Amino acid sequence: MSSAKRRRVGPRHGTTTTADSQPPSIPADLLIEILARSDTRTIVRGAATCKPLRRASLGPAFHRLLAPRAGGFDRALLLGASCVFYDGCPRDIFFQEQRRPFSFDAELLSLYEPMVSRGCLVVVHWRGRPPSLTGHVTRVKPTGTAAVAIYPRTLLAVGDAGRSFQLLVAGKNLVMSIFSSEHGRWGATVKTKLPPNFFRTIPNRLSPPLVLGATVHWLCKEKGIIALDVSAARATVIELPPKCFSQVSCPKGMDKGLLASSADGRLSLLVAEPCVVAMWTLLAAAASWNLQVVIHRQAIGREGPGCVVRFLPFGERSGTVMLQMEAVGLVEIDLGSREARVLSDEFKKIGSPYYSRLQLCLHETDFLTLIGSITKNMKRF
């Protein structure tokens, strides 16, 4: 064509456009709303490629759009895992490189025993000093009350990247006290109302508690599950699924299952049966359990018949289950995708007393903290 701008006929109505024409732009507010409905990876990619989106993702309006996001698992919220094996050197099993500047000083695990971890906070047994992934440290003094920890310690709430937390200790008959980082001290000792069928079987020392809302759950060996409603100071007993451990064998003192939550926030129990890793989920309406297969053990790795499986901590935000498999090593299972991967072929020996020598901490974050930290530290494009 001799004209300065080439013209072409549109597919409909004979309309014409020029080579310099631009497609219609999406309004900024609509684009932000679309981004807020996307998964974590998409949000990060969008913020990385567009400065206006990056600025918007740091603003309070965008955070208000993200606030309703609740429930379900998000693998992107898993930052990493650290472990120590008896007298070996502590180290990060893995740590997502794109999750910097989050970090954890794994050397702490060689000097101090990890008591409980949740989100991005780890409580270690060293005069009660809990380090977080941001390096913020709070010293927790002994309770000085009648609430002496008999049940495994529990982090009720972790916020502000580990700077804000509540730590629960529960003693005989579930007499409890809560440390608040906001107030910097322990609260009053509270007596719990116990049900008639309450039992005094104590959970194993390394048995991780599960928190759902304001209720703490402990797996008390093969006796049952104790549920403590902290806000009401009331305990209930939850019966285990019938014969759920009948096919499980493990060293004395090791849990035969792991408490976890389903994607919609219901109480669940993971059990490693001879051929599968199964998950029992409590149906609240019927007060009964529903059984599902998570993954076939043969899909994880080669192992002999009857090999022991030891469950390690559960990541409630990412839906990650860590376990140690005899003759296989350290394994990660994603409850969202029902997929597994072998992280390390070490730690293959589990038989007593070796099972307790591997101690592992999962590191997770919340959605707003993750998005804020990544976008703030992005390079300029």
CATH classification of the domain holding 290? 2.120.10
Residue 60 sits in the same domain as residue 80: no
In a domain, 13, yes or no: no
In a domain, 153, yes or no: yes
Element housing 167 (H / E) = strand 164-170
* CB distance 376 to 92 below 8 Å: no
Residue 182 sits in the same domain as residue 289: yes
In a domain, 202, yes or no: yes
* CB distance 232 to 174 below 8 Å: no
CB atoms under 10 Å from CB of 102, counted, come to: 23
In a domain, 81, yes or no: yes
Residue 58 sits in the same domain as residue 170: no
Q: Does the CA dihedral 117-78-83-344 come out positive or negative? A: positive
190 bridge partner residues = 176
Residue 186 sits in the same domain as residue 59: no
Range of the domain at 281: 75-371
Residue 146 sits in the same domain as residue 32: no
Residue 49 sits in the same domain as residue 92: no
In a domain, 364, yes or no: yes
Kindly tell me the burial class for residue 336, based on how many C-beta atoms sit within 10 Å of its own C-beta (0-12, 13-18, 19 or more): middle
In a domain, 162, yes or no: yes
Residue 62 sits in the same domain as residue 79: no
In a domain, 2, yes or no: no
At residue 252, the pLDDT reads 81
Best CA proximity match to 104, nearest among 124, 88, 126, 122 = 122
Residue 44 sits in the same domain as residue 120: no
Residue 196 sits in the same domain as residue 213: yes
Q: Cα 114 vs. chain centroid, distance in angstroms?
A: 16
What's the one-letter identity of residue 328? V
In a domain, 215, yes or no: yes
Residue 88 sits in the same domain as residue 234: yes
* CB distance 333 to 81 below 8 Å: no
In a structure prediction context, what are the per-residue pLDDT tens digits for the chain, which is 381 residues long? 444 444 444 444 444 445 555 666 777 778 778 877 877 777 777 777 777 777 777 777 777 776 665 557 888 888 888 777 665 565 556 555 545 555 555 565 666 666 777 776 777 665 344 555 445 555 565 555 555 779 999 998 776 555 678 899 999 999 999 988 888 888 899 999 999 999 999 998 888 999 999 999 999 999 999 999 999 999 999 999 999 999 998 888 889 999 999 988 999 999 999 999 999 999 976 679 999 999 999 888 776 666 889 999 899 988 999 999 988 888 999 998 899 999 888 778 776 555 557 778 888 887 777 776 666 665 544
Residue 64 sits in the same domain as residue 106: no
Domain count along the chain: 2
At residue 113, the pLDDT reads 64
Residue 277 sits in the same domain as residue 230: yes
